[in-house]
Copies of this chain bind each other. A is one copy, B any other.
Amino acid sequence: MNNLISIKSATLSEDIAQQLTHAIVQGHIPQGSKISEPELAKQYGVSRGPLREAIVKLEGLGLVTRTANVGARVIQLNTQDMLDTFTMREALEGMAARLAATTMPADEISSLYALLDKHQAHLDANQDEHYVQQGGNDDFHLRIIHASGNVKLIRLLTEELYAVIRMYRRHTADHRSDPRQALREHKAILDAIANHEGDLAELLMRRHISRASQLLAQAMHQATSATSR
């Protein structure tokens, strides 16, 4: 198995951590599976030292759980954890939207309006197919977060929490019932930010995320009841 993405980092352990994160988020390493240090070390062609460091980092990201003398396991997504995570996200991204309403520069606002137009055009041209914007510069949520200007908040959301959030969003994308509704909500949030209405921006962002989590919970519930049948 070869690594599709191979950005040379300064240190092996960083490399491995990135590759492992990608592999887990994309589902190449299945949920709940055990992480075998000797096996992965051989696979990536490194010794166990850097690999262990990478695993410790993944534990910090909440992608694996470690038990002493037993080893690491990839987390298993489940509805309750998802709801808990999205509640946190609601609080944090809500705050980010509030802050963005006072700090976002005018040109970034217009740039975001352009982005939403692009999304709109994509929906029109592709029979409402969901626009894949995972993590890239076209990710509306990431743009808002960065506009908050709060370094700590940005770091927490984009570096520590977003790996797990992305895993859940991968599911959302498949089961999203109405991408146009999401786009409308994005537009409303951006309007509030453009008008410097922090309270409103926060409220709308919260509702937007809350709604997404409810849709996702439904989808996950259906999925589990289907497999258990």
Q: Chain A: residues with CB nearer than 8 A to chain B? A: 9-11, 14, 49, 52-53, 56-57, 60, 68-69, 80-81, 84-85, 87-88, 90-92, 94-95, 99, 150-153, 156, 160
Let me know if B84 and A153 touch, CB within 8 A: yes
**Residues of chain B contacted by A56 (CB below 8 angstroms):** 53, 56-57, 60
**Residues of chain B contacted by A156 (CB below 8 angstroms):** 88
Instruction: Tell me how many chains of this kind the complex includes.
Output: 2
Let me know if A95 and B84 touch, CB within 8 A: no
17 contacts between A and B (CB under 8 A): A9-B68, A11-B68, A14-B68, A56-B56, A56-B57, A81-B151, A81-B152, A84-B150, A84-B151, A87-B95, A87-B99, A87-B152, A87-B153, A88-B95, A88-B153, A90-B95, A91-B92
With A56-B60, A60-B160, A87-B99 known, 9 other A-B pairs at CB within 8 A are A10-B69, A11-B69, A14-B68, A56-B56, A57-B60, A60-B60, A84-B152, A87-B95, A91-B95
**Residues of chain B contacted by A69 (CB below 8 angstroms):** 10-11
**Residues of chain B contacted by A151 (CB below 8 angstroms):** 80-81, 84
Interface centre among A10, A69, A94, A152 (most CB of B within 10 A): A152
Let me know if B81 and A88 touch, CB within 8 A: no
> 7 closest Cβ contacts across the A-B interface?
A60-B60, A10-B68, A91-B95, A84-B152, A91-B91, A84-B150, A56-B56
**Residues of chain B contacted by A10 (CB below 8 angstroms):** 68-69
Interface centre among A81, A87, A153 (most CB of B within 10 A): A87
Q: How far is the CA of A56 from the CA of B156 in the complex (A)?
A: 16
**Residues of chain B contacted by A152 (CB below 8 angstroms):** 81, 84-85, 87-88
* Chain B residue at smallest Cβ distance from A49: B49
Q: How far is the CA of A213 from the CA of B80 in the complex (A)?
A: 33
Interface centre among A49, A69, A81, A95 (most CB of B within 10 A): A95
Q: How far is the CA of A85 from the CA of B92 in the complex (A)?
A: 12
Interface centre among A69, A88, A92 (most CB of B within 10 A): A88
